[in-house]
Amino acid sequence: METQAKTRLLFAGGVNQDRIGGNCHLLEHQSSDGQTVRLMFDLGSIFLPESSGFSTAYPDVSAFFDRINPKTQEVCKAQKPTDALFITHAHQDHIGALISYVKMGYQLPPIYSSKTTNNAIRLFFAKAGLEPPKTVNIEREKPVKFRDCVELEAFDVSHSAVDALGFHSLTFDRGKPVVAVVHNGDFSTDEKMPIGHSFCKKDYLSLIKRKPAPQTIFLFDSTSIENSALKRIGFEQNVQNTLDVCLQNQDCNIIISPVITGSFNNAAIDFEVARRLKTKVFLDGYGLKIFKDALKLSGYTGFDELIYHGKMQKYLKDESVPLKYIVCTGAFGQGLNEYKHNIGISPTSAIWLSSAAKMALDLHPDLKVSKEYLFLMRQHFIKEICSHFGDELCHRLASKGARIVVAPSENKIGDFQQIQMQDSGHIGFEEMLSLVGDIRSIAPNMVILPVHGSKAQRTKMQKLADLCKVQSILVSNDECVEIVGGGLKICPQTQKTAWLGETLVFSNGDLQDGVVQIWKLGENDVPLEKIVEYENVKKQKVPYVAVADKNKKGRRRKQNRIFQNPKSGCER
């Protein structure tokens, strides 16, 4: 009996059930003549609650990537080797695992993405002192083929990350289409972004129309579907609102705008406001500087004249720039959590603190918050990412006399003024309703698969599909979607989804019998060296504070701890 062609969608964290981040899924196609192609899409970190015992976590990809154990040099071959890794955009929940996997000895396949995203990835690897992976700049309207049975074409999407992409995959058997899969990534339907390329609905629909298949599956970003109370107001209105806030607070001569590191289309609002205020912006945080360099390498230089090039101390003293406008890291108060459980640190500590967190903790070497400071908290706080630490960040800054203006939110944060100063980078309910209606008119066989968000958000996406009379499927990380002979079904995955948790253990670096001696942290102790440990994330999680307490008691832990993979027997 002849083998039928089979296309499967596998999830290594890509549907993010009850999590935000990871965003990793695979397209696996087996043709009837025995050819197999596996393509992975995104490989990010997830944001864990502070009670988890881990700083962050990554999908376990040991089944898909070869690995050379850095300690033993043992080679562990992947059971399901992956041909290529496609990256939609350079946010940490989509690329945050890459460097850690290389440190663990995994061999990354070639990375396909936009020139801007690839430049950012290569610069982050260089910053970490690692050899950058092989990257391929994928060009729009130039399909990439794999073994004559999978064809993939990129398209532009609008997002806060510059030059974000979506991907249209088409699988074939004996020259005939089997299924089309549209990986939209994080996106909105804005057709005009401040920097870089933008989503074009006409081109998007044209791509779907010229590549028909018996079935077309759409992986749709569900993050903003559940709550679409905030309407999009556009770049110009966001600039005007931000400018108005600055002008209303002219007694503050230091403006601080914490942003998400990779969201330069939001930072573009600051650049334009600074232009109108006739001042220059200082970028504080190496991640922001990496993205600035990635943009310059990609040909985007229009904002460069607005950036102050020099040291912060010189900037603060420069009388030719009377109004200081600092765009910095820390939109979610990153670092507050780790600091609270590893007290007694300084600005030179191994604990990574965002610029905004340093200011809130009086640890910033140059900036001491006072009533002169105006903080533009344009990014609304997402509970799954920053828990209550966003609120704490605002209150700590306000206690030092700073003026705080926050994004509108259902959760009231103190008595701070609320002004919308940026749009979400994710599509909302009404926009998605319109887009699905347009797609259905040219692809009546469409199937919606909600991804990227909590179960509540993905369920709301499914209800939207019902309103449009479109088929939708809700899957978990431990299930896969299988298309055989024109039929679609949901199957359990043979291997359960697992996560690798990263723990930062701070030590004085001294070894005794091969075991690292842990600092007994005192009030003035500064642990200058960190050990990264990777462990399985289990359902019974150890609270972070318990981990910190054990470390303070001088508990010994092995350096570069490893654990056994019960499936393959290979050490990680």
Least confident of 162-166, 312-316, 374-378, 429-433: 429-433
Average pLDDT, the chain: 84
Return d(Cα 435, Cα 221) in angstroms, integer. 13
Residue range 386-436, pLDDT digits in tens: 878 889 999 999 999 999 999 988 777 778 999 999 999 999 899 999 999
The tokens describing 101, both together, are: 């996997």
Give, as one character, the DSSP assignment of residue 260: -
CB 447 within 8 A of CB 481: no
Residue range 15-30, pLDDT digits in tens: 887 677 889 999 999 9
Planar angle of CA 315, 420, 379, nearest 5 degrees: 60
Question: Is residue 103 packed enough to be buried (19+ CB in 10 Å), middle (13-18) or exposed (0-12)?
Answer: middle
pTM score = 0.89
Model pLDDT, residue 386: 80
What's the mean pLDDT in 111-137?
A: 96
Share of the chain above pLDDT 70, in %: 83
Model pLDDT, residue 565: 33
Model pLDDT, residue 155: 97
User: For the chain, which domains are there?
Assistant: 6-228+425-492 (3.60.15.10), 234-418 (3.40.50.10710), 499-558 (no CATH)
Q: For 355-358, which contacts have Cβ atoms below 8 Å and span 24 or more sequence positions?
A: 355/258, 355/284, 355/285, 355/326, 355/328, 355/329, 355/330, 356/256, 356/258, 356/328, 356/329, 356/330, 356/331, 356/393, 356/397, 357/330, 357/333, 357/393
pLDDT confidence band for 508 (50 / 70 / 90): very low
Model pLDDT, residue 548: 31
What's the mean pLDDT in 252-272?
A: 96
Residue range 434-483, pLDDT digits in tens: 999 999 999 999 999 999 888 888 899 999 999 999 999 999 888 999 99
Share of the chain above pLDDT 90, in %: 63
CB 544 within 8 A of CB 52: yes
Instruction: List Cβ neighbours of 64 (8 Å cut-off, separation of 6 or more).
Output: 12, 26, 38, 40, 78, 80, 81, 82
Model pLDDT, residue 537: 60
The tokens describing 302, both together, are: 């229009």
pLDDT confidence band for 138 (50 / 70 / 90): very high
Return d(Cα 112, Cα 96) in angstroms, integer. 16
